[in-house]
Amino acid sequence: MKKKILKWFWPIMPGYPDEGRRIVQGPHFRALLAIAAKERGKFRRVFNAGSGEGGYSPLLADLPVSQTIVESDLGFRNTLPARIDSRQAFFGASLDSIPLASNSVDLVLCTEVLEHIQQDEAALDDVARILAPGGWFLISVPTPPAPPDANHVREGYRREQLQDMLAARGFHVVETRFCMYFFFRFLLGNWFRLPWCPRIVVRTFAVLDRLFPIGPPMDLVMLAQMKKVKPASACNGAVLAAKRPDEVQLGL
């Protein structure tokens, strides 16, 4: 009965921005991940950096991953999410201190995380460190002008700025896309003024945003590949996994 009630009344149940964000970003992520998968063939290990509630975990589970899908979020220090795939492993950590061995990951997904981190340069250093030569990095960040968010350390990044930050760490930017325009900006800008927003409203605004990209974008999506021969700057950083108890526990 509970399932039937949820099925009947889901349009008027409380919605959340992340549901709309997946509608807007999802097609871009799938297309860019397909580019990486086609070139790589099979990934040994992928890393979902700042996975939160696991909204994009199904996307990673659909990839040809032979070993592990590593999921990390600060919130996982207290509570681990439910596993949806036997290949998943979880730990709680900040992006500027990733307890994974150097050159141990073939793909990193980092969506709407970098703008939350004070030491964003150190975070990119550690991402470059754990990526294997030729590995892939799919990142999304807000791009100015973006609605203010008290949880953000900075408003966001412009394309040239993020591209330069990645190039300095040995990345070659393969493709750049923009998303989230007027309708999604309006939804986020007024979210905290709404006492309650039904799911159907969130989804409608997200679909309108995809169909009618009006005004300047507020989100930047970038797919980059680590060079086959990594520069020295991409090999420095945190200690290797075998010297970290939390990493040894994951069997990584």
* Assigned domain for 97 exists: yes
Q: What does the pLDDT read at residue 238?
A: 39
Residue 82 lies in a domain: yes
pLDDT at 138 over 80: yes
Residue 101's identity, in one-letter code, is: A
Contact between 97 and 117 under an 8 Å Cβ cutoff? The reply is: no
Average pLDDT score over residue span 45-68 = 94
Residue 251: inside a domain: no
Number of domains in the chain: 1
- pLDDT band, residue 60 (cuts 50/70/90): very high
Give the model's confidence band at 5: pLDDT under 50 very low, under 70 low, under 90 confident, else very high: low
Residue 70: which of 33, 112, 114, 101 has the closest Cα? 101
DSSP state for residue 153 in the 8-state scheme: S
- Asked whether residue 64 is assigned to any structural domain, the reply reads yes
In terms of pLDDT, which residue wins out, 48 or 246? 48
Q: What is the predicted pLDDT for the residue at 215?
A: 94
Nearest to 220 by CA among 181, 171, 169, 186: 181
CATH code where residue 224 lies? 3.40.50.150
E strands in 14-104: 43-49, 65-72, 88-91
pLDDT(228) > 70: yes
Q: Look at residue 108 and tell me if it is in a domain.
A: yes
Residue 246 covered by a domain: no
Range of the domain at 63: 16-181+216-238
For residue 233, pLDDT over 90 is answered with no
pLDDT computed for residue 139 by the predictor: 98
What does pLDDT average to over the chain? 88
Nearest C-alpha neighbor of 159 from the set 246, 217, 106: 217
Stretch 177-205: mean pLDDT, rounded?
91
Please report the pLDDT score of residue 145 as a whole number: 87
Lowest mean pLDDT among 15-19, 105-109, 163-167, 181-185: 15-19
Tell me the pTM.
0.88
pLDDT reported for residue 105: 97
- Tell me: pLDDT of 225 over 90: yes
Q: Give domain status of residue 122, yes or no.
A: yes
Q: Is the bond into 145 cis (omega within 30 degrees of 0)? A: yes
pLDDT at 13: 81
Report the pLDDT value the prediction gives residue 15, as an integer from 0 to 100.
Answer: 83
Whether residue 30 is contained in a domain is answered as yes
